[in-house]
Chains A and B, each alone.
Chain A
Amino acid sequence: MNALEITGLCKTYRGKRQKIVKALSSLDLTIAPGEIFGFLGPNGAGKSTTIKILMGLIQPTGGTAKIFGTPVINSASRQRLGYLPENPSFLDFMTAREYLAFVGRAFSMHKSDVKKETDRVLELLALEGAANRAIRHYSKGMIQRLGLAQVLLHDPDIYILDEPMSGLDPIGRALVKDILRDLKSRGKTVFFSTHITSDVEIICDRVGIIVNGNLMAVDHVQSILQSGIEGYVIQLVRDKMVTEEVFVEKERLKSFISDLSASDVEIERIEPKRKDIEKFFLDIVAKGEYVAVE
């Protein structure tokens, strides 16, 4: 069974003067269990709309979405799921500990488990010190970390995270990356949206790029990186003194090296020069047209 299955998902709004705005047009996407999927797109591309439909917060105009086979209309679809909203906000009269206890009960966790897991996630996200303070006194970064804590609390099988890195300082970002890697190693499914390409490059198995409500590309990060190699920068040392750099195109590498073996030039380093995800992403946004997937 797929962890996430989206078929033909559409969303149109009525904007000003009855103008129809297409926020999402016919989105198809499946995510297998154990996958880390990055959902990349510029601001206003439809990332949040998709996630809100997955969470049942807004209703799609057409199409269906299922989480582990349960339609998202049904609140039971969220039983095995952890959700972190974009710029989250939690019942701010509670303390972090109270809120986590509340979340634990919402997932029907056992009382002793709630206690144990609360301590674990609070420690993991470095919130122990503030655990007994009301959330309304938290800073933005602390709220974001609490958001991650409540996601991790009941150890769900699928994680839907809307911009998990936003509002975090570099230490927090590194922490989130560690957490995501850990989830990956434990075979959990993660679906997260971002507009930061480097995050995707480091963490994700696959990436989907959405522009203006259209899913433009879905591919494995590794194959994008592979196919993106344009050539190599070769550092040469001539006469053991002078160092020079040469750019060699991908196809010419072999012949270049064989040519070189005849001379007395030594190769000090060969570096692939490739299009990174950012380039890939920017190209797609610029082209604005559909790229064949998979």
Chain B
Amino acid sequence: MATFVNLLSANFRSILRDRIFLAILIVALLFFLLVPSFSLFSMRQVQELAVTLCLSTISLLLLLVSVLQGASSVWRDVEKRYTSSLLGLPVSRATFVVAKFAGIAVTLVCCTMLLGALALPAISISAAQYPSDIPIHWMNIIGAIGMDCLKYILLSAVALFLSTVSTSFFFPFFGSVAIFFAGSASQEVIEYISGDYGKSLTPAAKLVINIVYYLLPNFSAFNLKVAAIYGLPFPFKGALYTFLYFIVYTSILLCLSVWSFTRRELP
């Protein structure tokens, strides 16, 4: 456990000293300062726009951080031969991979908390300028931000897994971006083919789509933004299912990552 924490803190520090990460974070922070003035663009829904802007900024930052950090994690350590010096210490490969993931996950959680803490005053200020008829549902907003964080932790696990089998940046990067889009759309596709359109498909094609649907991580489930923006009732049961799904899916990905990294021959 001490070894794990030691590695985790090293990974976390490595991200904090990453210039690209810092640049993205600073841009996001600056953007928050502009939210109150940007949201005046909307004539009828200042508050809704402010919530949207904040949630989208957080999403975009987390997307960039999770994909960039996840995709440049394991293969890069192998290529830079950090693995041979780190695994020369009494560190198992499983600990190495899980600590790598945990470093990214902790970063994502910290970013979420930092930006979330800024989002709440930004929304209050904007909403005060032009009160909306919908009251602000703070719990919904916090819930949506939390779910977003889980979504991108899951995405970083995808990127990490791809980086354990890859030897370059491109495969894990484009792979995880593609999986992100596919996983965000899979729910719509499956609903589309279960309707009229599905009747014109062959059973084999339907089967393939269904298999892909269950294999891909379902990212659309984590999207609770509408509930936050329009103050719809928060789907507690759904959030619970989604949370369980997140735990299981992420663990499976970590298992696969450990398995693939354990088999890997290192320089």
User: In the complex they form, do A and B come into direct contact, defined as C-beta atoms under 8 angstroms apart?
Assistant: yes
- Where the two chains meet, the residues of A that have a C-beta atom closer than 8 Å to any C-beta of B are 52, 55-59, 75-79, 81, 83, 85, 87-94, 102-103, 105-108, 147, 150
User: Known contacts A91-B10, A93-B14; is A105 also within 8 Å of B2 by CB?
Assistant: yes
Contacting residue for B87 out of A57, A89, A94, CB 8 A? A57
CB < 8 Å neighbour of B13 from A52, A78, A93, A106: A93
B89 touches A78 (CB 8 A): yes
0/1 string, B11-27, CB within 8 A of A gives 1: 00110011000000000
Taking a contact as CB atoms closer than 8 A, the residue among B6, B18, B85, B91 that contacts A89 in the complex is: B85
* Residues in chain B near residue A108, CB distance under 8 A: 2-3
Residues of B within 8 A of A75 (CB): 87, 90-93, 95
Cβ contacts under 8 Å, A76 to chain B:
90
For residues 104 through 144 of chain B, which have their beta carbon under 8 Å from a beta carbon of chain A?
Answer: none
- Grouping DSSP codes into helix (H, G, I), strand (E, B) and loop, the A interface class, with mixed when no group exceeds half, is loop
- B210 at interface by CB-CB < 8 Å: no
Contact check, B88 vs A55: say whether CB atoms are below 8 A apart. Answer: yes
Nearest CB of chain A from residue B205's CB, rounded to whole Å? 36
7 tightest A-B CB contacts, nearest first: A83-B88, A75-B92, A106-B89, A57-B266, A85-B84, A89-B81, A78-B90
Interface string of B195-219 (1 = CB under 8 A from A): 0000000000000000000000000
Name the distance in Å between B251's Cβ and chain A's nearest Cβ.
21
Task: Please report the C-alpha to C-alpha distance between residue A62 and residue B172 in the assembled complex, in whole angstroms.
Answer: 32
Tell me which residues across on chain B come within 8 A of A106, comparing CB atoms.
Answer: 3, 6-7, 89-91
Most buried by A among B80, B90, B95, B266: B90
Given known pairs A93-B13, A105-B6, A106-B3, the reply for A55 and B89 (CB within 8 Å) is no
Shortest CB-to-CB span from B69 to chain A, Å, is 14
In the complex, A87→B84 CA distance in Å?
10
- A218 vs B10: C-alpha distance when bound (angstroms): 42
Interface size class of B (residues with CB under 8 A): 20 to 34
B residues whose Cβ falls under 8 Å from a Cβ of A: 2-3, 6-7, 10, 13-14, 17-18, 80-93, 95, 263, 265-267
Q: Given contacts A56-B87, A102-B10, is CB(A91)–CB(B3) below 8 Å? A: no
Q: How far is the CA of A75 from the CA of B83 in the complex (A)?
A: 13
- A-B contact list, 19 entries, CB within 8 Å: A52-B84, A57-B84, A57-B267, A58-B266, A75-B90, A75-B91, A75-B93, A81-B88, A83-B89, A91-B82, A91-B85, A92-B80, A93-B13, A94-B10, A94-B13, A103-B89, A106-B3, A106-B91, A108-B2
Instruction: Find chain B residues with CB under 8 A from A147 CB.
Output: 85
Q: How far is the CA of A268 from the CA of B89 in the complex (A)?
A: 56
Could you tell me the distance between the alpha carbons of A89 and B84 in the complex, rounded to whole angstroms?
8
Indicate which residue in A79, A87, A89, A107 contacts B82 across the interface (CB closer than 8 Å): A89
Distance in Å: Cβ of B111 to nearest Cβ of chain A: 19
Q: Which of B18, B95, B265 interacts with A58 by CB under 8 Å?
A: B265
Tell me the nearest residue of chain B to A150, going by C-beta. B85
Residues of A contacting B89 in the complex (Cβ-Cβ under 8 angstroms): 78, 83, 103, 106-107
A88 touches which of B13, B84, B90 (Cβ 8 Å)? B84
Task: Give the CA-CA distance A258 to B141 in the complex, in Å.
Answer: 105
Q: How far is the CB of B133 from chain A (nearest CB, A)?
A: 51
Q: Which residues on the B side are within 8 Å of A58 (C-beta)?
A: 265-266
Partner of A57, one of B13, B14, B265: B265
Q: Are B90 and A90 in contact (CB under 8 A)?
A: no
Bound Cα distance from A94 to B82, whole angstroms: 12
A102 to B13 CA separation, bound complex (whole angstroms): 12
What's the nearest-Cβ distance from chain B to residue A36, in Å?
20
Q: Which residue of B lies closest to A77 (CB)?
A: B90
Bound Cα distance from A44 to B156, whole angstroms: 38
Q: How far is the CA of A215 from the CA of B87 in the complex (A)?
A: 26
A59 lies within 8 A of B82 (CB):
no
Assembly CA distance A105 to B81 (angstroms): 21
Taken together as a complex, chains A and B put the C-alpha atoms of A149 and B46 apart, in Å, by: 60
* B6 shortest CB reach to chain A, Å: 4
Are A89 and B80 in contact (CB-based, < 8 A)?
yes
Closest residue of chain A to B7 (Cβ to Cβ) is A106
Besides the contacts A55-B88, A57-B266, what 9 more A-B pairs have beta carbons closer than 8 Å?
Answer: A75-B90, A78-B91, A89-B82, A90-B82, A91-B86, A94-B10, A106-B3, A107-B89, A108-B2
Is the CB–CB distance between B90 and A93 below 8 Å? no
Alpha-carbon gap, A58 to B78, bound state (A):
13
Question: Are B92 and A85 touching (Cβ within 8 A)?
Answer: no
Whether B84 lies near A79 (C-beta < 8 A) is: no
Known: A52-B266, A91-B10, A93-B13. A79 touches B85 (CB 8 A): no
Q: A93-B13, A105-B6 are in contact. Are A85 and B90 (CB under 8 A)?
A: no
**Does A79 contact B266, Cβ atoms closer than 8 Å?**
no
| Nearest Cβ on chain A to B267's Cβ, whole angstroms | 8
* A103 partner residues in chain B, CB cutoff 8 A: 89
In the bound assembly, the distance between CA atoms of A87 and B85 in angstroms comes to: 10
CA distance A12 to B258 in the complex (A): 23
Known pairs A57-B265, A106-B3, A108-B2; A79 contacts B90 (CB<8 A): yes
- CB distance B6 to A85 under 8 Å? no
Hey, which chain A residues are within 8 Å of B10, CB to CB?
91, 94, 102
